[in-house]
Structure 1
Amino acid sequence: MNVQFDTSQMSPADHAALIDAVRRLERVGPALRLSRMVGRKLNLAKGLAPEKVGKIIDGAAMAAMRAALRAAIASLAGKPLQNRNRAHKLMAAASGAAGGALGLVSLPFELPVTTTVMLRSIADIARSEGEDLGKPEAALACLEVFALDGREIGANVTESGYFAVRTLLARSVSEAARYIASRGIIDETAPALVRLLAQLGSRFGVVVGQKFIAQATPALGAFGGAAINLAFIDHFQSLAKGHFTVRRLERQYGEVHVRDEYQRIAAARFPDEIRPPAA
């Protein structure tokens, strides 16, 4: 049940954590800005890419989400995702190097590996913020992280991009969690899971397109691909920290009140990212 809340009732440490979460969730980090800039300079953003390339990117994004879903659900069966942060980054760098060296042909194979590695790191962040990954809703919240950065820099939105995405996904996540809880097995053809994977894949595909374009730049090669994958995993780790901080505070102070304070902080501190509705 939500409790009454005002800023004075939130501890200074929790309020500082919320400010940090807003920064992580509403601002695009320098590494991703660089990745996007490379793609724009090549004039090969996903929307302008040949249809065949777009289909490969979309297919790779969906395959990555299916792999991530299987990994997330594995945690429900008593197979905890281990905290091996350094190993995760090394694996992401290695798969990025392969992508940078081989280009588009490697994407359908490299991306599911990279995404599963990232999910394991995201799951550890979730546990550190008090999530019980034995519950379907918490496991699926890990997947939500991959959908949190599917908008352009400076997009004109009437509320935080973060809460807009959560609202968009809320029904699908709830239905998928109920399905998993009631069946105890995973059928990826089940309508509830198909809807969720389609929404996640669509948003994740935007970032995947930007990643691929930057990674496939001939001048970068394998070294550049590894560097971009490290930036990629750092970025989603940061989003995960913000996401699960907000969820922790919602459990403590109430969803509505945390959301209101989040929006106030976002509008006051990051006006370039959060714009009011047009008059």
Structure 2
Amino acid sequence: MDIVHTPENLEQDIALIAKRYRKAGGVGIQVLNLVGGQAENLLERLPDVVKERLEDATQKALEAALRAATRSRGVVPDQSTWLNTVAATAMGAVGGAGGLPTALAELPVTTTVLLRAIQGIAVEYGFDPTQPEIQAECLQVFAAAGPLAADDGADMGFLSARVTLTGTTVQGIIARIAPRLSAALGQKLAAQAVPVIGAVAGAATNYAYTSYYQEMAHVHFALMRAGTKYGVDRPTLVLQLSKAVKQS
């Protein structure tokens, strides 16, 4: 028997998506408590030379992650959310143990794990991550604010942004989102570089980042599926989501 998609069904779906959005926004608190201070001043702990190169390093990490994650799809099956989180947490501990140098070396590997996890979530919602358009949508998830940024539901621009490959390339999309992601990853590096507790902070930050971006991927692709399911455009869905988040 076919399901009749009524406004009530849409409202229920939006409520579930809002719950995931709120969950994503709460995972970074433990990291800030661990390393001390506020998210906005974490970047100030990084050496100037690192801050100056961070955006370029982030863009290269995204390009390498896209190649590795896409090529691995025919070899390694998608893993569960839990396993992705465990793997990234372990890598964060290793990266943080050696301070900033090992944290920088670990960055592309963690980015690959995150992107592969996002691709797996896209599959859960019926999308094919081998298609260039869906690859672009997977990358767009990285345009979210990051787990250490304060967000009251107002920062939803990345959800309503229309991703199109017309007149551009996936590399162009990477270049567009790299500045936003570099700020989030800079906070991660600064947290991992905290003396003495680097390994613990590294594990905590990677746990937070993996949890955050996986939840945001669920939000992103759930909205895409809802748009097709109910015939509602994405900006309208994002507006409804924003209202649901603020009302909760």
* TM-score bracket relative to the smaller structure: 0.7 to 0.9
Correspondence 1:233-252 to 2 at 5 A? 233-252=210-229
Mark the runs of 5 or more structure 1 residues left unpaired by the alignment. Answer: 1-7, 180-190, 273-279
**Structure 1 residue 237 displacement after superposition:** 0.8
Range that drifts further, 262-271 or 64-73: 262-271
Tell me whether 1:67 sits opposite 2:61 in the alignment. no
Residue 264 (str. 1) matches residue 240 (str. 2)? yes
Whether 1:192 aligns to 2:179 is no
Question: 1:96 and 2:92 equivalent?
Answer: yes
Aligned residues: 241
Partner of 1:174: 164
State whether residues 22 and 262 of structure 1, in contact with CA within 8 Å, keep that contact through their aligned partners in structure 2. no
Partners in 1 of 2:36 and 2:173 — Cα distance? 28
Deviation at 1:144, TM superposition (A): 1.0
Listed one character per residue, the Cα deviations across residues 131-178 of structure 1 (whole Å, up to 9, x for unaligned) are 1223211122111111112594247x9xx522x22455x3xx422xx5
Letter in 1 for 2:208: A
Q: 2:188 corresponds to which residue?
A: 211
Provide the C-alpha distance between the structure 2 equivalents of 1:60 and 1:143, rounded to a whole number of angstroms.
16
How far off its partner does 1:199 sit? 1.4
On the 8 A contact 2:92/2:103 being kept in 1, the answer is no
**Compared CA separation, residues 99 and 221, structure 1 to 2 (3 A):** same
Contact 1:25-1:242 within 8 A present in 2 as well: yes
**Distance 1:23-1:60 versus aligned 2 partners, 3 A rule:** farther
**Counterparts of 2:240 and 2:84, CA distance in 1:** 35
Classify the secondary structure of the residue corresponding to 1:115.
helix
Query: What residue identity is the alignment partner of 1:161?
Result: D
Give, in whole Å, the separation in 2 of the partners of 1:46 and 1:107: 14
TM-score (norm. length: structure 2): 0.80
Is 1:84 paired with 2:79?
yes
Once residues 45 and 93 of structure 1 are traced to their aligned partners in structure 2, the CA distance between those partners, rounded to angstroms, is 20
Distance of aligned partners of 1:53 and 1:73 in 2 relative to their CA distance in 1, 3 Å threshold = same
Separation of aligned partners in 1, 2:239 and 2:203: 36
Q: Output the CA distance in 2 between the equivalents of 1:28 and 1:91.
A: 19
Q: Is the 8 A contact 1:72 1:139 kept in 2?
A: no
Q: Deviations over 1:64-112 (max 9, x none)?
A: 211222145437xx72762223443333122201221112212332111
> Structure 2: which amino acid aligns with 1:70?
R
* Corresponding letter in the other structure for 1:30: G
**How far, CA to CA, are the matches of 1:60 and 1:141 in structure 2?**
21
The one-letter code matched in structure 2 to 1:101 is A
CA RMSD of aligned residues (A): 3.1
SS of the equivalent of 1:134 reads coil
* Equivalent residue number for residue 50 of structure 2: 53
**Given the superposition, is the C-alpha separation of residues 194 and 135 from structure 1 closer, same or farther in structure 2, using an over 3 Å criterion?**
closer
Amino acid in the other structure paired with 2:74: K
Distance change >3 Å, CA 141–CA 43, structure 1 → 2? closer
SS at match of 1:174: coil
Map 1:103-118; keep pairs closer than 5 Å: 103-118=99-114
Please report how far the alpha carbon of residue 114 of structure 1 lies from its aligned counterpart in structure 2 after TM superposition. 0.6
Deviates more, 1:120-129 or 1:29-38: 29-38
The residue number in structure 2 matching 1:149 is: 145
Query: Structure 1 vs Structure 2: percent identity of aligned residues?
Result: 30
Residue pairs, 1:220-235, within 5 angstroms: 220-235=197-212
- 1:36-70 deviation per Cα after TM superposition (whole angstroms, max 9, x unaligned): 56464598432674421202432332222112221
Cα distance in 1, alignment partners of residues 241 and 114 from structure 2: 28
Q: Deviations over 1:208-250 (max 9, x none)?
A: 0111122222242213311221121111111111111001011
